[in-house]
C-alpha cells in the first residue's frame, strides 16, 4: 500500500487535548490521529478501479517476465542509463 505523509495545523488547545488523549492510551500523537481517521472511514467503501485490458495485459506480461527471471534489479537510475 502506498502512503502519504500529511502535515496538519491545529489550534494549540486542540493539539493539547489530542496529545493528552494519545498519552492516555500510550500512543504517539501520529498513531492516535491515524487511528481516529481509520475509525472514521472504516465503514466506507473505498473506490477501486479496473485496469484497461491493455494495461492489464502489460502488467500480466511484466509479472510473467519477472517470475521467469527476465527482469533486472536496478539499484539506482545510473543502472538504467
pLDDT in tens, 19-73: 999 999 999 999 999 999 999 988 888 788 899 999 999 999 999 999 999 998 8
Considering the entire predicted model, what is its pTM? Answer: 0.53
Count of domains in the chain? 1
Q: What is the DSSP secondary structure assignment for residue 76, as one 8-state letter? A: S
- pLDDT > 90? residue 2: no
- Structural domain including 17 reads 12-41
Mean pLDDT, residues 2-13: 92
Which stretches within the chain are classed as H helix?
A: 12-24, 29-41, 53-67, 77-80
> How far apart are the C-alpha atoms of 61 and 39, rounded to whole Å?
38
pLDDT at residue number 19: 96
- The model's confidence at residue 1, banded by pLDDT at 50, 70 and 90, is low
| Domain-embedded: residue 36 | yes
Nearest to 1 by CA among 60, 46, 43: 46
Which residue in the block uniquely carries the three cell numbers 492516535?
Answer: 32
> How far apart are the C-alpha atoms of 56 and 62, rounded to whole Å?
10
| C-alpha cell belonging to residue 8 | 496538519
| Domain-embedded: residue 59 | no
Amino acid at each position: 500500500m502506498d502512503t502519504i505523509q500529511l502535515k496538519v495545523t491545529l489550534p494549540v488547545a486542540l493539539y493539547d487535548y489530542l496529545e493528552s488523549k494519545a498519552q492516555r492510551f500510550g500512543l504517539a500523537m501520529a498513531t492516535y490521529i491515524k487511528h481516529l481517521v481509520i475509525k472514521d472511514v472504516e465503514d466506507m467503501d473505498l473506490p477501486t478501479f479496473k485496469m484497461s485490458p491493455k494495461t492489464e495485459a502489460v502488467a500480466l506480461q511484466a509479472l510473467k517476465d519477472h517470475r521467469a527471471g527476465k527482469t533486472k534489479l536496478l539499484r539506482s537510475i545510473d543502472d538504467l542509463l
